[in-house]
């Protein structure tokens, strides 16, 4: 994975057909997705439960781009190797998931993956200030995690602050939650480069009608790029 700060659209398969992940992943990648965002939820850190390492391993052969795994779980450390074995390219842990995020990020990198750290809406940017040399991606949640289709919570000031703190380090700023053509320009202008979008990409489309996915991806990308 080479680093560049161009806008990347990472559809979240949380909004996909749960009975057809392989075909859905192939469809969004064929329709222009840059990354595939995989939302792992444990029903403990967040009030929802999705899937774990065996499912992520099954997704892997269908992902030709980047498998961006977002862990909404606690604890994280006991599962890092399982997600490395499952083929995650990026593995993101929540700073709120435990007291030793510094060690978690070291362990993710040691397992051969890019390390991400995620911040819930109530967590200040400063929470990751000491972690920026250990991370490849900061994920700014713009919804309270657990569900797709929620209303965007404006975090542009946090994004701007992070952009300042990161400086010229090769660290992506990812936005996750409520991203659509209306909200994408706000966060792109503030310095975000990876945009997760679930409902905004999957709405109105299907594996049988994937062109809608392509139109939705193009709309989010164009809106973000128009703000640069």
The residues that are catalytic are: 39, 176
What is the nearest approach in angstroms of Zn ion to the Cβ of residue 204?
A: 21
Contact pick of 9, 12, 94, 205 for ligand DX5 (by CB under 6 A): 12
Contact pick of 52, 75, 149, 214 for ligand DX5 (by CB under 6 A): 149
Q: Which is nearer to ligand DX5, 53 or 146 (CB)?
A: 146
Name which of residues 47 to 86 contact ligand DX5 (CB under 6 A): 70, 72
Contact pick of 34, 39, 89, 136 for ligand DX5 (by CB under 6 A): 39
CA 212 – CA 190 distance, rounded (Å): 28
Which residue shows structure tokens 């792992």? 40
Residues 119 and 144 sit within 8 Å (Cβ to Cβ):
no
| Sheet with strand 172-176: strands edge to edge | 8-11, 194-197, 172-176, 137-141, 114-119, 90-94, 67-72, 36-41
Name which of residues 132 to 161 contact Zn ion (CB under 5 A): none
Is there binding between residue 178 and ligand DX5 (CB under 6 A)? yes
Q: Which is nearer to ligand DX5, 22 or 47 (CB)?
A: 47
Which CA distances in Å does 26 have to 47, 99, 190, 221? 29, 37, 31, 19
What residues line the site for ligand DX5 (CB under 6 A)?
12, 14-15, 37, 39, 70, 72, 143, 145-146, 148-150, 176-179, 196-200
């Amino acid at each position: 994975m080479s680093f560049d700060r161009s806008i990347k659209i990472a559809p979240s398969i949380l909004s996909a057909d749960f009975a057809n992940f392989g075909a859905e992943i192939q469809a969004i990648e064929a329709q222009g997705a840059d990354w595939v965002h995989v939302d792992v939820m444990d029903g403990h850190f967040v009030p929802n439960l999705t899937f774990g390492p065996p499912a992520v391993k099954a997704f892997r052969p269908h992902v030709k781009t980047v498998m961006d795994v977002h862990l909404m779980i606690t604890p994280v450390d006991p599962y890092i190797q399982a997600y490395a074995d499952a083929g995650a390219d990026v593995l993101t842990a929540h700073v709120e998931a435990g007291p030793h995020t510094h060690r978690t990020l070291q362990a993710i990198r040691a397992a051969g993956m890019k390390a991400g750290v995620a911040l819930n809406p109530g967590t200040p940017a400063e929470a990751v200030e000491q972690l920026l040399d250990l991370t490849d991606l900061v994920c700014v949640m713009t919804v309270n995690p657990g569900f797709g289709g929620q209303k965007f919570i404006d975090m542009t000031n946090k994004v701007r602050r992070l952009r300042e703190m990161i400086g010229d380090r090769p660290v992506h700023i990812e936005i996750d939650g409520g991203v659509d053509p209306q909200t994408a320009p706000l966060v792109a202008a503030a310095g975000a480069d990876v945009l997760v979008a679930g409902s905004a990409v999957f709405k109105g489309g299907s594996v049988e009608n994937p062109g809608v996915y392509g139109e939705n991806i193009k709309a989010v990308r164009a809106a973000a790029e128009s703000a640069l």
